[in-house]
Structure 1
Amino acid sequence: MNQISANRRSGPVLITLLISMCVSDGRNITVRMGSGVMLPCSCPHVSSLLSWQKGITIVYSDRRNSAETSADQQYSGRTRVLESNCSLVLSRVQPSDEGEYSCYYQTSSFSVETVTLHVTADASCEYKSGLYHCKATWGSPEGWIVWRLNGQSKFLHSVFFQRKLDEDSGLYIINGSANITSNGAVTCEVETSGKTVEIECNRKCA
């Protein structure tokens, strides 16, 4: 029988792996920074203990027989669990939220399900004053903007490109502008930390 240990002292419930156990197939979910996401976990209603963890960090802990819940400070006020199952709803996703999450729950024995969260930059694109403008927000200074026309690379570099640190949020703002006069579908492709997000740029009449 696979085993895990639950620390039942007062406060958050930390699950510690003792020996190998049956783990569900890991799932991958990609979400844009700043938005919300649901991490699935299909525990039965009779489960008496629930703990969502990222490594040893407690994301959400619920003893199921009381209204008391707990979470690490970085997740405080950003998590809740669906009443119909144990799926975790995480709001205002940050770059640091990226990683593998484990959902531990107890019925007659312990079980665990895992899901990996991938976070991409928050990006937008608009046409203004004769130029296409792309803006992205990310947690590190690394980042590039590639412009595409009808899916083909038009300019490797913007006619204007800037990275700057927003001191209030601690995030980096990446701005780029391009002068594309040809007809067709224009997209702004933002590359950050090995991940790419593509934004369609809608040209509106002034």
Structure 2
Amino acid sequence: MASFLFLIYVINFEVISSPTVTGIVGQDVVLPCQISTRTQPDNMEVQWKKIIQVAIETVYEYRAQTGQDVPGQKYQGRTMLLKDGFTTGNVSLKLKNVQPADVGTYSCIVKSNAWSADAATELQIGGW
């Protein structure tokens, strides 16, 4: 009778962001988000949410398993995940054409099959 040993390797990671970012109305801004592992987690999902007093608004979602990019309803054509940085753990979000209504707290949530972590950053408007 043969016995098998299965090893499950779970990648635990941290998500790191800047506490504040300053954008300028009409220009693009990068909301920084970095994961601490250099290996892309299995079935990684990246979600960007805006935290509003009474609700949480979806800004952008990416699912690695399907390669699916889903911008939030209010952010159609204004968001882009910097996927070229995946090999270095960079999952920052570019927000195009910043508007005064974009001011607020954004949460970067990274999920894998076995782990989840998040970090928040506050978007402020400069020269306003």
Is TM-score (shorter-chain normalized) higher than 0.5?
Answer: yes
Aligned to 2:46: 50
The answer for unaligned runs of 5 or more in structure 1 is: 1-21, 122-191, 193-206
C-alpha offsets along residues 104-130 of structure 1, whole Å, 9 cap, x if unaligned? 002331100111100135xxxxxxxxx
What are the within-5 Å matches in structure 2 for residues 78-89 of structure 1?
78-83=78-83, 84=85, 85-89=90-94
Counterpart in the other structure of 2:106: 101
Aligned residues of 2:17 and 2:32 also touching (Cα < 8 A): no
Change (3 A) 1:25 1:66: closer
RMSD: 2.1
Query: What is the letter of the counterpart of residue 117 of structure 1?
Result: L
Query: Which runs of structure 1 show a deviation greater than 4 angstroms over 4 or more consecutive aligned residues?
Result: 22-26
Deviation at 1:66, TM superposition (A): 1.4
Question: For the pair shown, which has the larger CA radius of gyration, 1 or 2?
Answer: 1
CA shift for structure 1 position 77? 0.5
| More relative contact order, 1 or 2 (CA 8 Å, 6+ apart) | 2
**Identical amino acids, percent of aligned pairs:** 32
* 1:109-188 matched pairs, under 5 angstroms: 109-121=115-127
Distance 1:106 1:58 in 2: 15
For structure 2, list consecutive stretches of 5 or more residues without a partner in the other structure: 1-13
> Is the strand fraction higher in 1 or 2?
1
CA distance change for structure 1 residues 53 and 29 in 2, over 3 Å: closer, same or farther?
same
Deviation at 1:67, TM superposition (A): 2.4
Distance (whole Å) between structure 2 residues aligned to residue 38 and residue 114 of structure 1: 13
1:23–1:114: 8 Å Cα contact kept in structure 2?
no
The aligned length equals 101
1:74 match: 74
User: Which structure shows the higher helix fraction?
Assistant: 2
